[in-house]
Amino acid sequence: MNKNNLAAIVLLACAACAQAEDNVLTFGAGIAGAARYSGADDYVIGPLLAIDYQMANGFYASTLRGIGYGGAVGPVYLSAALGYRGERSEKDRSGIGGASGSPALRGMGDVKGSATAVLGASWDIVDGLALEWHAELPVSKRENGRQIGVGLTGTLYQQARDHVTLSLAANIADRDYMQTYYGVTATQSARSGYRQYRPKGGLYEVELGMTWKHMIDTRWGVTGTLSAVALTRDAANSPITKRPRSAAGAVYATYSF
């Protein structure tokens, strides 16, 4: 799937931004679909598999969230983790997490994956409405650039077993990030046939998402998520952007103990 693999926006049932009272291990499995890469005009569907271990003291290890720590400071929840930003291939390279590229990128070369420092914060403005912020800073392959995002998440419906939320987010990137994922260098242009393109940093993506979590019992849960993504400004005008608007979705089950 695209570089912002759907797994990155899917949180396991136990992995909400709150410190658990006990240590909780969660296994998740399901199916997910998203554009092959950011700006692609075709989609790929693949399995979604995840493991998340949340400790009562705030430390966690997760295939989705990375390895890190989160805790509350007054009304604000803060987190910091070591994560991984996936690769983007110039070929249709498939794996257990879905495709990581597209033949439409032939000649663009591969964008290598990188370790990242992921910082986050969430503030409950009022009950059921949270202001959120995150930053993704590469630790390796720093030339791939940095990205930050801000958003709002609100609860639309909540009962004992069901929780429905709606979120709106905007993502901003520096010039290096934009060049890596939406730009075309002279060398890439000669190899791929795309015109040269040097995008500027700034707002590049907005996203609207909805999530419904249903708890079957205290251990089993089912979650469905659907999002609409729109590239903006220089990202939307990139030669490799075939379609600036796309959708992503997933349905998965979780078991916690």
Q: What are the residue ranges of helices labelled H in the chain?
A: 175-182, 186-192, 233-236
What range defines the domain where residue 236 resides? 6-256
Q: Identify the three-state secondary structure at position 114.
A: strand
Predicted pLDDT of residue 129: 95
pLDDT at 46: 87
pLDDT at 74: 84
pLDDT of residue 214: 96
Look at residues 98, 106, 113 and name the one whose alpha carbon lies nearest to residue 66.
113
With residue 162 as reference, give the H or E element that holds it. strand 162-173
Answer whether residue 112 is part of any domain: yes
Q: Is residue 56 part of a domain?
A: yes
1 found inside a domain: no
pLDDT of 216: 95
* Chunked mean pLDDT (size 10), the chain, 257 residues: 48 49 90 92 89 93 92 91 91 62 91 94 93 95 95 94 95 97 97 97 96 94 95 97 95 93
CATH number at residue 127: 2.40.160.40
Tell me the C-alpha to C-alpha distance, in Å, between residue 164 and each of 71, 159, 226: 24, 9, 12
Res 183: pLDDT = 97
> Does residue 109 belong to any structural domain of this protein?
yes
Task: Tell me the residue type at 80.
Answer: A
Q: Which two tokens stand for residue 165?
A: 């939320």
Q: Is residue 40 part of a domain?
A: yes
Position 94 scores a pLDDT of 61
Residue 58 lies in a domain: yes
Total number of domains in the chain: 1
- Would you state the pLDDT for residue 101? 77
Q: Determine the pLDDT at residue 64.
A: 85
pLDDT of residue 6: 53
